[in-house]
Structure 1
Amino acid sequence: MSRYLVDKFLFTVDRDPELVERYREDPRGTVEWWEAERANLLLNCHPGEASTWLRFEDAEREALAAHDYVRLFELGAHPFLTLTLFIAMFERDYDEPLAFQKEYGMRLQHFSLPYPDITT
C-alpha cells in the first residue's frame, strides 16, 4: 500500500473546504481527479515540480471512493487524518455532539493492539 499517497490525499483534501465538499458529494470522481491531477505534485515545493510514478492501488482507490474509513485504517491510513476529514464531511449529519466520533470509534473497536502500521 502507498500509505504516503493515501495520507497525502486525506491531508490535502481536508485542508480545502471546496475539496471536502467535492469529496463528500462525488467521492469516486474526486479520487479519480485527485489521482490524475494532484497525486504527483510535491508537497511544499515550487509549482511545476512533480513526480510521475505515484498511483493508488485498487484497494486504496475503492476504499477512498466508498468513504470506507475502516478499510482505510486496515490498509494503514493514519487514523487522525481519516478522522479529521470524515468529521469535516459527516459530523453535520448527526444531531448529537460527538456522534460521528463515537461511531468512528465503534466501527474501529474490533481492532486490537498492535494496530496496523501507520508509518510512511
Structure 2
Amino acid sequence: MSKYLVNKFLFTVDRDTALTERYREDPVGTVTWWEAEEANRILSCIDAERSTWLSFTDEERQALATHDHVALFELGAHPFLTLTLWIAMFERDWDEPLGMQLDYAARLAHVTQPYPDISC
C-alpha cells in the first residue's frame, strides 16, 4: 500500500471545494480521474514534472471509491485527513450536532491500540 498516495489524495481533495463535491457525488469517477491525472504529479504547478510509477492498489481504490473510512484507516490512511474530508462531504447530511463525527467514531470503535501505522 502507498500510504503516501492515499494521503495525498485525501489532502488534495479536501483542499479544493469543487473537487470535494465531485468526490462526494462521483467517488468512482473522481478516484479514477485523480489516479490517472493527478497521482503522479510531482509539483502541482508544473505539468511537465510527472512520475509514472504511483498507483493505488485495488484495495485502496475500492476503499476510496466507496467512501470507506474504516478500511482507509485500517490500511494506514491518516485519520485526520479522512475526518476533515468526511466533515466537508457528509456533515450536512446529519440533523443532530456532531452526528457525522459520532458516527465516524462509532464505526471505528472496534479498533484498539496499537492503531495501524500511519507514518509514511
Q: What is the TM-score normalised by the length of structure 2?
A: 0.96
Q: Is residue 88 from structure 1 mapped to residue 82 from structure 2 by the alignment?
A: no
CA RMSD of aligned residues (A): 1.1
Q: Which residue of 1 aligns with 2:102?
A: 102
Report the residue type matching 2:103 in the other structure.
E
Q: Which residue of 2 aligns with 1:26?
A: 26
Q: CA deviation at 1:98?
A: 1.0
Q: Which residue of 2 aligns with 1:72?
A: 72
Q: CA deviation at 1:48?
A: 2.3
Q: What is the distance in 1 between the residues matched to 2:36 and 2:65?
A: 14
Q: Is residue 61 from structure 1 mapped to residue 61 from structure 2 by the alignment?
A: yes
Q: Which residue of 2 aligns with 1:36?
A: 36
Report the residue type matching 1:97 in the other structure.
P
Report the residue type matching 2:87 in the other structure.
I
Q: CA deviation at 1:50?
A: 1.4
Query: For structure 1, which runs of at least 5 residues remain unmatched after alignment?
Result: none
Count of equivalent residues: 120
Q: CA deviation at 1:87?
A: 0.6
Q: What is the distance in 2 between the residues matched to 1:13 and 1:31?
A: 10
Q: Which residue of 2 aligns with 1:7?
A: 7
Distance 1:43 1:80, change over 3 A: farther
Q: CA deviation at 1:46?
A: 3.9
Q: What is the distance in 1 between the residues matched to 2:27 and 2:67?
A: 7
Q: What is the distance in 1 between the residues matched to 2:3 and 2:43?
A: 15
Report the residue type matching 1:72 in the other structure.
L
Identity %: 70
CA contact (8 A) 2:43 2:49 kept: no
Q: Which residue of 2 aligns with 1:111?
A: 111
Q: What is the distance in 2 between the residues matched to 1:43 and 1:75?
A: 26
Report the residue type matching 1:88 in the other structure.
A
Q: CA deviation at 1:2?
A: 0.5
Q: What is the distance in 2 between the residues matched to 1:107 and 1:101?
A: 10
